[in-house]
Amino acid sequence: MSETQYFDEMWGHDETLRQPYRQFHDWLHRENPADLRAKQREAEELFRLTGITFNVYGRTEAEERLIPFDIIPRIISAPEWTKLSRGIEQRVRAINAFLHDIYHRQEIIRAGRIPKEMISRNEAFLPHMIGVEPPGGIYTHIVGIDLVRTGPGDFYVLEDNARTPSGVSYMLENRETMLQMFPELFSQNRVQPVQNYPTDLCRSLAACAPPAAGSQPVVAVLTPGIYNSAYFEHAFLADQMGVELVEGHDLRVVDGRVAMRTTQGYQPVDVLYRRVDDDFLDPMNFNPDSQLGVPGIMDVYRAGGITIANAPGTGIADDKAIYSYMPEIVEFYTGERPLLENVPTWRCSDPDDLAHVLENLGDLVVKEVHGSGGYGMLIGPTATKAEIAGFRKKLKARPGNYIAQPTLSLSTVPIFSRQGLAPRHVDLRPFVLVSPEGIRVTPGGLTRVALKKGSLVVNSSQGGGTKDTWVLGD
């Protein structure tokens, strides 16, 4: 499929400038290309000075990389955003209800809407959470919903990120960089702000504090440490919220509360925004070799003495096999049809689906059910015969480990290349905050862009970059 057959968010299908981009395009047309190239270099230098990097696993060369940033924004109109945010809110409500149900009465299994083994045999299902009531009834305090677009009004959910969604620091730094370089554009285009996200995050987390907390709940961010790929984000968010960044060795259980070490002794923590995976959270309850977690924290959690965000066991909600049931999940818990569609998905654990996938490998995208970051996947149309043959063996050996989807015609947004504007494929990760006070979808999100011509892989670990995402006011 050639680039011209994709829907371009600036130019549509027929090279007619779309309404959301008109004011920006008029400004762009008046600008000197040499000045814009200088601005692009300035943006890269700002990112370098700020230290916005990420780690690439599985490489022996320099692991830390600068995430590429493109100065042409992705622009979403107010009506488009209204449609998206309603669908996102509906989906997040359903995910929270689903998590409460599978760790309590399991009504969805009793109703025959999801096979029991999809839960009981799922690696992400956490028996320790059965019967546990998280403070405020919230499981997913921070959610990232990955969306793709194929046409003017055609948006699909690609995956749900309900464990520890990352990337919000890039959203904030992208906006800060654009504000610094092109301040006049934001008032001219009535761009909705995203800069209050850290304040909203802190307020949302505090609203989820357990009953033991006082009127000023203590919030902290738990990081695995400096070698984690998202450490920049952990430190950035702690700093922006004005809370402590802690590692496992900074915390201990004191008098039935989780407390952090301070210069005045140990101080109780009410809400822990953890960026440590379930398995490493508590060596007394999970992996006994973990040096990253806090011994006994799960016992305090089960007793209602601390809020852990996101709740342990939420990973089952972003498992890619469970994703294929999301239309049924949304309908079961909300009584409504999903406002945002799933991408059609074949479960390779099903013999008929597996046969279809094996027969059409060259046309499909195949993903590991627990995979992330663009690793462990096959993009059939761009794969070699050897890669397809290798994946065929993997599928036959462990079919339940994979799902498959059609290769979508992802929309494009122009990037500022050396030759001028050039279309590149994008996705979008809006960020959602959930508390007993309600659901808040930040107006924007992280737009990831595949910088290689024709590539559909937008992950930074696979050579992708980012853009500022503008949601226009009414």
Percent of the chain residues topping a pLDDT of 70: 94
The residue ranking higher by pLDDT, 3 or 416, is 416
Share of the chain above pLDDT 90, in %: 78
Phi, psi of 381 (to 5 degrees): -60, -25
Fill in the DSSP letter of residue 164: S
Token output for 456: 């559909």
Which residue did the predictor score with more confidence, 53 or 446?
A: 446
Q: Which of 3-17, 93-107, 300-314, 364-378 has the lowest mean pLDDT?
A: 364-378
Write down the pLDDT at residue 60.
Answer: 44
470's tokens: 């503008």
Which residues is 391 bridged to in the sheet?
none
Of residues 226 and 61, more confidently modeled: 226
Q: Taking residues 104-112, what's their average pLDDT? A: 97
Residues 245-265 have a mean pLDDT of 95
DSSP 245: E
pLDDT band at residue 430, thresholds of 50, 70 and 90? very high
**Residues 159-206 pLDDT 10s:** 999 998 999 999 999 999 999 999 999 989 999 999 999 999 999 999
Task: Reply yes or no on whether the pLDDT at 111 is more than 60.
Answer: yes
Look at residue 59 and tell me whether its pLDDT is greater than 50: no
Q: Which residues make Cβ contacts (< 8 Å) with residue 372, sequence separation at least 6? A: none
Convert 64-78 to b/e letters by CB count within 10 Å (16 or more is b).
eeebbbbbbbbbbbe
225: pLDDT strictly greater than 80: yes
Residue 160: what pLDDT? 94
pLDDT at position 1 is 36
Question: What's the mean pLDDT in 420-434?
Answer: 95
List residues bridging with 421 in a β-sheet. Answer: 416
Spatial separation of the C-alpha atoms in residues 153 and 321, rounded to whole Å: 26
| C-alpha span between 308 and 183 (Å, rounded) | 38
From the list 52, 88, 58, the residue with the least C-alpha distance to 374 is 58
CB count, 10 Å around CB of 32? 8
Instruction: Tell me the domains of the chain and their CATH numbers.
Output: 344-407 (3.30.1490.270)
Give the pLDDT band of residue 467 (cuts 50, 70, 90): very high
User: How much is the average pLDDT of 150-156?
Assistant: 94
Give me the mean pLDDT over the 259-268 stretch.
94
Average pLDDT over residues 198-226: 95
Indicate the pLDDT class of residue 459, thresholds 50, 70 and 90: confident
Tell me whether strands 364-368 and 378-379 are parallel, antiparallel or unpaired: antiparallel
In the structure encoding, which two tokens stand for residue 385, read together?
Answer: 């015969």
What gap in Å lies between CA 398 and CA 49, rounded to an integer? 45
Token pair, residue 57, equals: 């696993």
Is pLDDT above 90 for 357? yes
- Helix, strand, coil percent values for the chain (each to nearest 5): 40, 25, 40
Task: Give me the pLDDT at residue 52, please.
Answer: 65
C-alpha atoms less than 13 angstroms from C-alpha of 23 in its C-beta half-sphere:
14
Query: Per-residue pLDDT averaged across 23-30, rounded?
Result: 95
Identify the pLDDT of residue 65. 66
User: 15 CB contacts (<8 Å, ≥6 apart)?
Assistant: none
Q: What's the mean pLDDT when you consider all of the chain?
A: 91
Instruction: Determine the Cα–Cα distance for residues 224 and 231; give it in Å rounded to an integer.
Output: 8
Predicted pLDDT of residue 151: 93
First to last CA, the chain: 36
Q: Quick check: pTM over 0.85? A: yes
Of the candidates 143, 170, 307, the residue with the CA atom closest to the CA atom of residue 237: 170
